[in-house]
Amino acid sequence: MILKKKEIREHFIGLAFFTALFAALIFFVSGSENENKFSEIKSLLTAAELNPENELDAATLLDAIKNYYKNSPKADALIAEYFAYKEFLLTARENKSGADVRSLDFSLALSLLGKAALFAFYFALIGFLLFYLSESFALLKFKRKNCGAGKQQKKAEKENAQIMNSLKKAGEIILAAAGYFILFSPVYLIGYLFKFNYENVTFFSYVILSVFTNGVLITSANKFYRLLESESVKGYVETAKIKGVNYDCSADGKITPTRIFSPFKFFGEHILTQIYKSAHLQYLSAFKEIARFQITGMIIVELALNLQNGIFYELLKALKGKETAVAIFILMLVFFVVKASDIVTDYLFLKENAKYEN
């Protein structure tokens, strides 16, 4: 039933349209790519059995071109093509990326598909972790800022001895500044600082870096915190408060860190349960945007740390080698991953929303 809803239907229409477009582009590009690239100079070299990287062979070829075409523009074009081909071969060897442009054959497509599937798995895993952590940290901040006990605690802290208070505050400021710097740092700075590179990044460190750097966690937690804030001033909360519903965060021990960090967040009869449920529903629908930012973060982790087994490393390699068909194919796979995440997020939102509609 939910799959027939307008939002989901639109995703499938977009998916079908752009898949057809990508497929047409790949078909068009891969047909012309290998034939056009250095084709003339390659055929001359093959016909004369010359090695383009041998100086003597090169001089022979260039002399032959000059003699045959005299000083015509054709001669200049062929000579330029020869030098471009030589540079291309040199670069390809330095990059160890193979001496020729890769064509999009079945085995390459299958290997890229595998890498995209692995990326989709990481993406889902990191997405869940991000969703859970952002909600938990936002709830923690919400409790600290809004709940009665938190305010009383703050008052009591103010009345403490001045020196201890200032020392504590200075320590808190330093810790908060360090935390902000880590959370907002692009991953390559953290990589430099903690000597992360393609040799020592494990599955665990990849996940941690993708969640905790590039500003991904702090911005998503902030998004959920704003939703909690906006819910907390709505009419039903004010009415509940007036009617005496529990709003004190520690009085009955419901709002403990254990409950906040639990995967299934429930705060009993406390008003926070309702606030959380409403904010959670809105956050589900907003998570599409966060997931896109998360993907960007993951790509930066992969490329900045030069993780050579990833799909985006392949994309960079394709861009380097001007392998247009391969680049478009990877783009299509990335498009599928993003669309799949959109569909899943919308499905979860509509499913959750249906509970309240009924």
Partner 1 sequence: MKIDFVKNGGVWRELKKARDKFWATVFVSAMLVLFVWNSIFLNAPAFDKWITATANTYLLGVFSTALAFLFGGAFVAVRIHAENKNRSLALSVLRLVLDFLKSIPQIVWLLFGYVFLIYNFSDTPLRYAWLAFVLALVFANEVHDEIIGRINFFKKSGFYEAMLAAGISERRIILRDVLLLNSLPHLINRAIIVFASVVFLLCSADFIVSVGLSNELSLSSLPVTLGNVLANISSKEDILAAREVFANPLYLPKLFTANLQGVSAAFTLVFTLISAYKISNGLVERKKLVK
Q: List residues binding partner 1 (CB under 8 A).
A: 10, 14, 17-18, 91, 94-95, 180-181, 184-186, 188-189, 192-195, 214-215, 218-219, 222, 226-227, 229-230, 292, 295-296, 299-300, 303-304, 306, 312, 315-316, 319-320, 322, 331, 334-335, 338-339, 342
Q: Closer to partner 1 by CB, 17 or 27: give it.
A: 17
Give the nearer residue to partner 1 in terms of CB position, either 249 or 291.
291
**Closer to partner 1 by Cβ: residue 18 or 261:** 18
**In 3-state terms, what secondary structure has residue 295?**
helix
Q: Are 257 and 147 in contact (CB under 8 A)?
A: no
Closest of 323, 320, 328, 324 to residue 87, by C-alpha: 320
Q: How far is the CB of 342 from partner 1 (least distance, A)?
A: 7
* Residue among 43 and 200 whose Cβ is closer to partner 1: 200
Write down the least CB distance from residue 212 to partner 1, Å: 14
Closest CA to 124 of 340, 353, 346: 340
Q: Which is nearer to partner 1, 104 or 327 (CB)?
A: 327
Compare residues 259 and 302 and give the one whose CB is closer to partner 1. 302
Residue 268 CB, nearest approach to partner 1 (Å): 27
- Closest C-alpha among 28, 53, 95, 18 to residue 318: 95
Minimum CB–partner distance for residue 66 and partner 1 (Å) = 28
How far does Cα 108 stand from its chain's mean position? Answer: 23
Residue number with CB closer to partner 1 (97 or 250) = 97
Helix (H, G, I), strand (E, B) or coil at 31: helix
User: Among residues 247 and 335, whose Cβ is nearest to partner 1?
Assistant: 335
In angstroms, give the least distance from the CB of 8 to partner 1. 13
- Structure-token match 């810790």, residue found: 175
Nearest CB to partner 1, comparing residues 43 and 95: 95
Long-range interactions of 277-283: CB distance < 8 A, separation 24+: 278/231, 278/234, 279/224, 279/227, 279/228, 279/230, 279/231, 280/135, 280/352, 281/349, 281/352, 281/353, 281/356, 282/227, 283/131, 283/135, 283/223, 283/224, 283/227
Token output for 67:
């003699």
How many CA atoms lie less than 13 Å away from 143 in the CB half-sphere?
24
Range list of H helices, the chain: 6-36, 39-47, 55-69, 73-94, 106-146, 148-159, 162-184, 187-193, 203-212, 216-232, 235-242, 257-260, 271-304, 311-320, 324-357
For 224-270, the DSSP string reads HHHHHHHHHTSHHHHHHHHTT----SSTTS-S-HHHHTSSS---TTS
Least distance to partner 1 from the beta carbon of 63, Å? 30
Q: How far is the CB of 252 from partner 1 (least distance, A)?
A: 28
DSSP string, 173-202: HHHHHHHHHHHHS-HHHHHHHTT--TTT--
- Nearest approach, Cβ of 320 to partner 1 (angstroms)? 6
Structure tokens at 213: 């750097």
Q: Which of 66/145 has CB closer to partner 1?
A: 145
Q: Residue 150 Cβ, how far from partner 1 at the closest point, in Å?
A: 17
